[in-house]
């Protein structure tokens, strides 16, 4: 790392990434404010279920593959998706550790198992790319952004993996991260921000109505 | 269709229909396509246009174009589109013609997007442009011009109630039994589906029998008694609020404490769950389904049921609006188990049950009838697999669709409401 710390290009790159992160955060905040403009206080109907439990379920058990028919029927896609997103989280933590010289975390995210995991993540991402490309229906459902976002993230994972053992490749990882971060608010990758609010809305809706979480004990038998 | 500039109307409809939740959810779809097989239209047609994410996509494109500044750039790359004549035709075909608003996709969306709700938002934009399919528009217009969706005149309705009352007295051999009409101060106002009065009065007879057996204080109303709300299907929320307000007027006029709704899926969802948001306030009376009331009666021992009176194998169709979107997960099941000897569950059931295909205003939209009947294949197969001879469906729209499926797919089953099954098992 010391070699790179002295490198002015690397310093500038790191600063650019931090700037990009700040910029993107501001864009997301503005975006949220813009859509918050549509917020309307609504009188809530008398609940039949428990809103809090619905929200907790939506971000916990409700994410498990057997809870929904759509994921029950598509185990491989679900597992690939989980691996892919976990690998993205690892690569992102590695990036943060590099940006802020967090040596303890950097060591944690710079070893052979992490490298293998990031490679597996890349392969998972590619398999999702080809799934989208080869299935006619998914192709019709997709925009160029869907492919571009996937490839950008795959490259981020690949560079993350390579840079663990070839430090000279770190510059590509950081460059890749810079562009990826700038791309975040534009297209589908923004789901990284909207996923949790969206699941909470889901939990609120079904929780209020007593539909979810599914009752473990039947009320009437 | 002639090219028109609808920009201002679309913007107006979008800003009227959009709320924070919808805006968040319109920004979340990743087009993974996992929702495809949750839709009965897709399962039957295998057409990309039937994939829920595709339906969402076309609404999202317009949202991006009109309200999301990034959507104006690289429209082909990020997917945004201005609403124009060619798009409108596609919208009508997909949002009205390929969706029954059953919400099965919403439950299956890994991102938690309430797709059916956003389809309704899309429909509301079309409604703003005056483009509601004719059948649905005409049902709504009948409701506006009379006080119910079938245009039943008040005298006709009163006559039906009196005739049913005579029938009830004859059947129970009790001249004191009555079907109360406009009884002020009754605890319950019972709101019906006009279909019952017009074509299927047996369900009203059954409910009269049940209220009589439970010793309930209840009444029917001579006007503003229609539980249905077809404006819910067209996404016209101001109108939907107006239709609900009619029930509120009857409640006030008759000074009742509780509004009890007949077995009607969308009527229940509209009144119980959606009305407060439409009205801007919570009605000051309780709103319950007749299923909840009957389940209470049985649990309190007010109704005695003899299952041996219903010996044929019975299955239950869980209406989407009552169960998946309404939360009445167990009531119908509990009542049927108490009333029949041989109850067979469909697979899947409960909140995962498949839509019969009759929801979302589909029955009113004759232009999409062939597609609706085809989409009903899934339900027909489910029924066949149970081997049941009686299908119980606590929703009048579902019953109408199931009647057609029974004929088209030669199911050879009888169709009943839960109230009818319970009334048949009733021991006085």
Domains of chain B plus CATH, in order, are 7-131 (1.10.1060), 143-299 (no CATH), 307-425 (3.40.50)
A2 within a domain of the structure (yes/no): no
> What pLDDT was estimated at residue A5?
53
Percent pLDDT > 90 in chain B is: 89
Question: In this complex, is the C-beta atom of B118 within 8 Å of any C-beta atom belonging to chain A?
Answer: no
E strand residue ranges, B306-408: 314-316, 343-344, 390-392
> What pLDDT was estimated at residue A221?
37
- pLDDT at A219 exceeding the cut of 80: no
> What pLDDT was estimated at residue A216?
61
3-class SS at A39? coil
Question: In this complex, is the C-beta atom of A53 within 8 Å of any C-beta atom belonging to chain B?
Answer: no
- pLDDT at A4 exceeding the cut of 60: no
According to DSSP H, which parts of A59-190 are helical? 69-72, 75-99, 103-108, 112-134, 136-141, 144-165, 170-183
Q: How many whole angstroms separate alpha carbon B294 and alpha carbon B307? A: 15
Read off the pLDDT band of B24 (50, 70, 90): very high
> What pLDDT was estimated at residue B2?
56
Residue-wise pLDDT tens digits, B274-292: 999 999 999 999 999 999 9
A181 within a domain of the structure (yes/no): yes
Question: In this complex, is the C-beta atom of A43 within 8 Å of any C-beta atom belonging to chain B?
Answer: yes
Question: In this complex, is the C-beta atom of A85 within 8 Å of any C-beta atom belonging to chain B?
Answer: no
Range B122-130 average pLDDT:
95
> What pLDDT was estimated at residue A95?
96
- pLDDT at B184 exceeding the cut of 80: yes
A215 within a domain of the structure (yes/no): no
Range with the poorest average pLDDT among A40-49, A188-197, B23-32, B383-392: A40-49
Query: Nearest by CB to A137, which of B51, B272, B323?
Result: B51
> What pLDDT was estimated at residue A8?
87
3-class SS at A7? coil
Closest approach of B60 to chain A, Cα-based (Å): 12
Determine the residue among B40, B54, B112 to mutate to test chain A binding: the one whose Cβ has the most chain A Cβ atoms within 10 Å. B112
Q: Do B15 and A38 touch (CB under 8 A)?
A: yes
Q: Tokens representing B201?
A: 């009065």
> What pLDDT was estimated at residue B94?
97
Range B237-261 average pLDDT:
98
Residue-wise pLDDT tens digits, B335-381: 999 999 999 999 999 999 999 999 999 999 999 999 999 999 999 99
Residue-wise pLDDT tens digits, B296-325: 999 999 999 999 999 999 999 999 999 999
Question: In this complex, is the C-beta atom of A70 within 8 Å of any C-beta atom belonging to chain B?
Answer: yes
Chain A residue with Cα closest to B38: A70
Say how many domains are in chain A.
Answer: 1
E strand residue ranges, B130-248: 188-191, 218-219
Query: Nearest by CB to A210, which of B25, B282, B327?
Result: B327
Query: Nearest by CB to B28, which of A68, A142, A198?
Result: A198
> What pLDDT was estimated at residue A167?
86
- Name the more confident of A199 and A165: A199
Read off the pLDDT band of A159 (50, 70, 90): very high
A88 within a domain of the structure (yes/no): yes
Residue-wise pLDDT tens digits, A123-147: 999 999 999 999 999 999 999 999 9
Question: In this complex, is the C-beta atom of A134 within 8 Å of any C-beta atom belonging to chain B?
Answer: no
A8 within a domain of the structure (yes/no): no
> What pLDDT was estimated at residue B3?
62
Q: Do B33 and A138 touch (CB under 8 A)?
A: yes
Which residues, at least 6 apart from B33, have a Cβ–Cβ distance to it below 8 Å? A135, A137, A138, A141, B51, B53
Task: Output the average pLDDT for chain B.
Answer: 95
A131 within a domain of the structure (yes/no): yes
Q: Which of A 92-131 lie inside 8 A of B, CB atoms?
A: none
> What pLDDT was estimated at residue B244?
98
- pLDDT at B159 exceeding the cut of 60: yes
Q: Do A35 and B23 touch (CB under 8 A)?
A: yes
- pLDDT at A177 exceeding the cut of 70: yes
- Residue B97: CB atoms within 10 A of its CB come to 19
Closest approach of B151 to chain A, Cα-based (Å): 30
A112 within a domain of the structure (yes/no): yes
- Name the more confident of B178 and A216: B178
Q: Number of A:B CB contacts under 8 A?
A: 165
Range B175-186 average pLDDT:
95
- Residue B341: CB atoms within 10 A of its CB come to 15
Read off the pLDDT band of B138 (50, 70, 90): very high
Q: Which residues from A are below 8 Å from B32, CB to CB?
A: 77, 81
Residue-wise pLDDT tens digits, B95-113: 999 999 999 999 999 999 9
A27 within a domain of the structure (yes/no): yes
- pLDDT at B125 exceeding the cut of 80: yes
Helices (H) and strands (E) in chain B, counts: 22, 8
- pLDDT at A61 exceeding the cut of 50: yes
Q: Which residues from A are below 8 Å from B418, CB to CB?
A: none
> What pLDDT was estimated at residue A62?
96
Range B218-225 average pLDDT:
97
Question: In this complex, is the C-beta atom of A217 within 8 Å of any C-beta atom belonging to chain B?
Answer: no
Q: Which residue segment(s) compose the domain that A140 sits in?
A: 13-37+50-208
Read off the pLDDT band of A104 (50, 70, 90): confident
> What pLDDT was estimated at residue A179?
97
- Name the more confident of B114 and A106: B114
């Amino acid at each position: 790392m010391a070699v790179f710390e002295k490198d002015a290009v690397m310093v500038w790159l790191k600063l650019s990434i931090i700037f990009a992160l700040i910029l993107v955060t501001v864009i997301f905040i503005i975006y949220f404010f813009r859509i918050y403009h549509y917020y309307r206080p609504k009188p809530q109907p008398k609940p039949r279920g428990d809103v809090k439990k619905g929200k907790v379920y939506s971000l916990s058990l409700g994410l498990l593959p057997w809870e929904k028919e759509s994921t029950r029927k598509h185990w491989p896609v679900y597992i690939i998706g989980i691996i892919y997103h976990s690998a993205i989280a690892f690569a992102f933590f590695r990036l943060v550790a590099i940006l802020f010289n967090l040596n303890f975390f950097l060591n944690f995210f710079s070893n052979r198992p992490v490298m293998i995991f990031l490679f597996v993540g890349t392969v998972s991402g590619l398999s999702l790319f080809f799934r989208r490309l080869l299935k006619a229906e998914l192709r019709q459902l997709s925009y160029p952004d869907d492919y571009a976002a996937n490839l950008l993230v795959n490259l981020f994972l690949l560079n993350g993996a390579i840079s663990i053992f070839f430090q000279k490749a770190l510059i590509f990882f950081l460059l890749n991260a810079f562009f990826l971060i700038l791309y975040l608010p534009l297209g589908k990758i923004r789901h990284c921000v909207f996923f949790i609010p969206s699941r909470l809305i889901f939990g609120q809706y079904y929780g209020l109505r007593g539909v979810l979480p599914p009752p473990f004990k039947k009320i009437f038998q | 269709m002639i090219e028109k500039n609808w920009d201002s109307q679309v913007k107006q409809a979008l800003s009227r229909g959009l709320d924070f939740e919808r805006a968040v959810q319109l920004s979340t779809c990743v087009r993974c396509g996992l929702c495809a097989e949750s839709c009965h239209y897709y399962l039957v047609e295998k057409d990309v246009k039937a994939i829920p994410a595709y339906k969402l996509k076309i609404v999202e494109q317009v949202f991006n174009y009109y309200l999301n500044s990034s959507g104006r750039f690289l429209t082909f790359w990020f997917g945004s589109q201005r609403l124009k004549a060619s798009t409108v035709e596609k919208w009508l075909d997909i949002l009205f013609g390929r969706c029954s608003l059953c919400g099965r996709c919403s439950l299956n969306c890994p991102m938690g997007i309430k797709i059916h709700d956003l389809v309704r938002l899309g429909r509301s934009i079309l409604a703003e442009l005056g483009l509601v399919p004719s059948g649905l528009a005409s049902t709504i217009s009948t409701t506006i011009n009379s006080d119910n969706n079938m245009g039943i005149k008040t005298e006709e309705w009163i006559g039906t109630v009196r005739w049913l009352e005579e029938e009830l007295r004859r059947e129970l051999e009790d001249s004191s039994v009555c079907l109360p009409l406009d009884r002020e101060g009754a605890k319950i106002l019972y709101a019906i589906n006009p279909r019952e009065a017009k074509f299927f009065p047996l369900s009203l007879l059954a409910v009269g029998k049940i209220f009589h057996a439970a010793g309930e204080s209840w009444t029917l109303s001579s006007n503003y008694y229609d539980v249905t709300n077809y404006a819910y299907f067209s996404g016209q929320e101001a109108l939907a609020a107006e239709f609900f307000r009619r029930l509120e007027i009857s409640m006030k006029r008759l000074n009742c404490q509780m509004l009890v709704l007949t077995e009607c899926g969308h009527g229940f969802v509209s009144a119980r769950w959606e009305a407060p948001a439409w009205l801007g306030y919570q009605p000051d009376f309780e709103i319950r389904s007749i299923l909840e009331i009957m389940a209470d009666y049985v649990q309190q021992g007010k109704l005695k049921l003899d299952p041996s009176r219903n010996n044929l194998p019975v299955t239950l169709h869980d209406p989407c609006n009552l169960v998946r979107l309404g939360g009445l997960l167990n009531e119908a099941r509990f009542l049927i188990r108490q009333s029949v000897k041989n109850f067979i569950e469909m697979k899947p059931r409960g909140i995962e049950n498949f839509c019969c295909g009759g929801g979302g205003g589909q029955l009113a939209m004759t232009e999409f009838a062939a597609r609706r009947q085809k989409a009903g294949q899934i339900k027909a197969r489910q029924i066949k697999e149970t081997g049941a001879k009686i299908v119980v469906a606590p929703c009048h729209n579902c019953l109408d669709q199931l009647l057609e499926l029974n004929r088209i797919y030669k199911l050879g089953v009888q169709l009943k409401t839960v109230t009818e099954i319970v009334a048949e098992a009733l021991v006085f």
